[in-house]
Amino acid sequence: MAESWDLVRRAVDRDRAPGQFLLTSSASPINPQTHTGAGRIVMLRMRPMSLVERGLELPTVSLAELLLGRNPEVEGHTSVGLEEYANEILLSGFPGIRHLSPRSARAQLDSYIDRIVDRDIPDVGRFIRNKGALQRWMAAYVASTATTASYERIREAATSNQGFVPSRSTTEPYRIALERLWILDPVPAFDPTKNYFKKLSLPSKHHLADPALAARLLGVGLEDLLSVSGSSIEVAGGGSLLGALFESLVTQSVRIYAQNSEAKLYHLRTRAGEHEVDLVVVGHDSKTVAIEVKLNQSVNDDNCKHIHWLQKKMGDDLSDAIVITTGREAYRRKDGIAVIPAALLGP
């Protein structure tokens, strides 16, 4: 990859016409010996397909319109419900997997995880002495999906049944390699330049690039996700596994819609944890949309309390505020907060 990168860089130096080359890679090509490509090559993160790209439903609400802050009309109905969202978590957003039978899809995802451990991580320069320890760390990371659990907590959870806890210097390379391979896709903390808040918690929120990988690492299926008691997997945030993976599914889609609008995605949490907002979309012009993600089909005042707090803090700088649900109808509440089924939100 480094050789191709340098060849393209030199070719662009000779001819600055745009769009001559399209480079693809499953890992970051940048290393200390490789030119960054600055001023010549634009880096674009390609993620698994969003809910809109999967053809789940025709969206009726545009994130780009919400970012404009003009209080756009919110309406629409979908037949997509909780079971369909749970199935989408397991189906994956990888185009080459979605058409397969459930058994074949599981085999492909398992094979992908095995390849990450056996081949891809060594290929990016990280030698793994204990592959089992890496897989346990990945499972512990997944059990912290949609939380800001510390890496110390993840490390301890990964080794709790092994009788020993490896050093941070042993597990830190796991995170670095998996981020470089685009497998980990954490959401950074919102830290605005304006002083809206006195004390914020700044750790990133944990997510994988595709929640289907998370489900395979934990060995859960549709019945596990939909069961009343939930699966036997302990989730770091204390909620249900389905709730955490649904938030991850929504986050994956919102990232893509935000990227389409030249916007960036964050989460917000105060230092003591008394207030948190699942997702904060910030446009290139600093216009901001706050998003809460709820597994509920309906929304009550309690579901909106953190958004109301944020509205008071940011005032007119908050363009819009929405709650994404598993419900069937899109509408605006009397307080102006938009309630949108996940399938009906689009770019």
Per-residue pLDDT tens over the stretch 54-78:
999 999 999 999 999 988 999 999 9
Answer yes or no: do 5 and 82 share one domain: no
Domain count of the fold of the chain: 2
Residue 48 belongs to a domain: no
Q: Which residues face 281 on adjacent strands?
A: 265, 289
Answer yes or no: do 170 and 74 share one domain: yes
pLDDT band at 117 (very low <50, low <70, confident <90, very high): confident
Which of 290, 250, 236, 265 is CA-nearest to residue 66?
290
Residue 88 belongs to a domain: yes
Answer yes or no: do 33 and 173 share one domain: no
C-alpha angle 288-199-204 in degrees, rounded to nearest 5: 65
Answer yes or no: do 164 and 267 share one domain: yes
Whether 7 contacts 31, CB under 8 Å: no
In this predicted structure, the answer to whether residue 36 has a pLDDT above a threshold of 70 is no
Provide the pLDDT for residue 164: 64
Burial of 110 (0-12, 13-18, 19+ CB in 10 A): middle
Provide the pLDDT for residue 169: 75
User: Residue holding tokens 């596994």?
Assistant: 241
pLDDT band at 33 (very low <50, low <70, confident <90, very high): low
For range 246-251, the mean pLDDT = 97
Which of 200, 221, 209 is CA-nearest to residue 180?
209
Provide the pLDDT for residue 28: 65
Whether 29 contacts 2, CB under 8 Å: yes
Answer yes or no: do 238 and 302 share one domain: yes
| C-alpha atoms less than 13 angstroms from C-alpha of 165 in its C-beta half-sphere | 9
In this predicted structure, the answer to whether residue 166 has a pLDDT above a threshold of 70 is no
Higher-confidence residue: 193 or 179?
179
pLDDT band at 100 (very low <50, low <70, confident <90, very high): very high
Which of 56, 76, 52 is CA-nearest to residue 329?
76
User: What is the domain range of residue 27?
Assistant: 1-42
Residue 321 belongs to a domain: yes
Answer yes or no: do 277 and 318 share one domain: yes
In this predicted structure, the answer to whether residue 144 has a pLDDT above a threshold of 90 is yes
Residue 54 belongs to a domain: no
pTM of the predicted model as reported, rounded to 2 decimal places = 0.90
Answer yes or no: do 341 and 249 share one domain: yes
